[in-house]
């Protein structure tokens, strides 16, 4: 059971907010929505283009998609995926890589064609990154754009790895990571000093071009940045605020992440 709080006529910069009792219930609903689109496109003989996120936030979504594949026969043969980001430099077989993450939580358990999987390449020579990023953008455009883009939100307000200072018109590119982002990743890498200081990320403009954007946030640890994002003016200092410039975004929260928002509890 969720409560959905629609766009307020008095505040055109307030997106739809859907609040669920917990992250698992919310994630299952998001996964079911993705599955519905996949099935609808299959009936039409069409493809679905998904923009995928990593980190702890989407894990339950991927878990439910895997269950739907195994138990209900959901096929991913008509799905093309583009991941938001990858650390740089990063070897794909490293356990901290987003390639490894996506294989562990989704791709190794479904029937998606490996040729249809796109994750930014953390092994490139630096001089090749600009042309690679342009090609990444062009692949998305050639397929007609992203149908559903999944997002988490970092404590800096980053979406993808678009850190404070990122511009509304930014495209896929190499970025420098914020110190708070490095600290938050330290445990995964066994110390902050081992976290790559750069990443390749889809840009804000790339993300906003998706036909549907679902930003998910779980737990009281995300309550402050969710509140700031929803209540602040649109600013480069909180990149997630740019999401409020499109009507196609939905904030999917559990009660913890919504706990600093007045009267928004499932």
User: Per-domain residue ranges for the chain?
Assistant: 3-254
Kindly tell me if the per-residue pLDDT of 5 is higher than 60. no
pLDDT band at residue 4 using 50, 70 and 90 as cut-offs: low
Report the pLDDT value the prediction gives residue 3, as an integer from 0 to 100.
Answer: 62
Q: What percent of the chain has pLDDT over 90?
A: 92
What pLDDT shows up at residue 37?
A: 98
pLDDT for the residue 8: 44
Q: What is the pLDDT of residue 263?
A: 77
The secondary structure of the chain, three-state, reads CCEEECCECCECCCCEEEEECCHHHHHHHHHHHHHHHHHHHHHHCCCEEEEECCCCCCHHHHHHHHHHHHHHCCCCCCEEEEECEEEECCCCCCCCCHHHHHHHHCHHHCCCCHHHEECCCCCCCHHHHHHHHHHHHHHHHHCCCCCEEEECCCCCCCECCECCCCCCCCCCEEEECCHHHHHHHHHHHCCHHHCCCEEEECCHHHHHCCCEEEEEECCHHHHHHHHHHHHCCCECCEHHHHHHHCCCEEEEEECCCCCCCCCCCC
185 vs 11 pLDDT, higher one:
185
> Is the CATH number 3.40.50.300 carried by domain 3-254?
no
Name the catalytic one among 86, 137, 163, 250.
163
* Band of pLDDT at residue 2, cut at 50, 70 and 90: low
Radius of gyration of the chain (CA): 18
**Average pLDDT score over the chain:** 95
Residue 185's pLDDT is: 96
User: How far, in Å, are 122, 195, 212, 221 from residue 191 at the CA level?
Assistant: 20, 7, 36, 21
Q: What is the pLDDT of residue 14?
A: 72
Q: pLDDT at position 13, please?
A: 56
Q: How many angstroms separate the CA atoms of 156 and 161, rounded?
A: 10
Q: pLDDT tens digits, residue range 224-259?
A: 999 999 999 999 999 999 999 999 999 999 999 999
Encode pLDDT of 169-208 as tens digits. 999 999 999 999 999 999 999 999 999 999 999 999 999 9
Mean pLDDT calculated for residue range 53-76: 98
The pLDDT value recorded for residue 104 is 98
Alpha carbons 54 and 111: distance in angstroms, whole number = 19
Is the four-CA dihedral 204, 206, 209, 215 of positive or negative sign? negative
Q: Is 163 a catalytic residue?
A: yes
Average pLDDT over residues 131-135: 98
134-144 confidence digits (pLDDT tens): 999 999 999 99
The larger pLDDT score, comparing residue 87 to residue 5, is at 87
């Amino acid at each position: 059971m969720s409560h959905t709080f629609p766009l307020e006529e008095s505040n055109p910069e307030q997106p739809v907010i859907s609040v669920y009792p917990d992250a698992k219930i919310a994630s299952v609903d998001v996964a079911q929505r993705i599955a519905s689109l996949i099935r609808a496109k299959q009936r039409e003989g069409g493809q679905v283009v998904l923009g995928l996120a990593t980190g702890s936030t989407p894990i339950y979504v991927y878990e439910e998609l895997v269950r739907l594949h195994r138990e209900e026969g959901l096929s991913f043969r008509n799905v093309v995926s583009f991941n938001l980001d990858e650390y740089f430099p990063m070897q794909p077989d490293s356990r901290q890589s987003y390639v490894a993450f996506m294989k562990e939580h989704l791709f190794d358990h479904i029937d998606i064609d490996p040729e249809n999987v796109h994750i930014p390449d953390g092994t490139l020579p630096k001089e090749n990154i600009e042309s690679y990023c342009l090609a990444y953008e062009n692949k998305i455009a050639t397929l007609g754009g992203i149908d559903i883009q999944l997002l988490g939100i970092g404590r800096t307000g980053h979406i993808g790895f678009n850190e404070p200072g990122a511009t509304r018109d930014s495209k896929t590119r190499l970025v420098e990571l914020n110190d708070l982002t490095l600290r938050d990743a330290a445990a995964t890498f066994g110390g902050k000093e081992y976290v790559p200081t750069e990443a390749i990320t889809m840009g804000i403009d790339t993300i906003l071009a998706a036909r549907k954007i679902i930003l998910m946030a779980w737990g009281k640890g995300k309550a402050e940045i969710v509140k700031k994002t929803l209540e602040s003016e649109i600013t480069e200092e909180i990149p997630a605020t740019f999401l409020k410039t499109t009507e196609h975004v939905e904030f999917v929260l559990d009660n913890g992440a919504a706990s600093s928002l007045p009267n928004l509890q499932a």
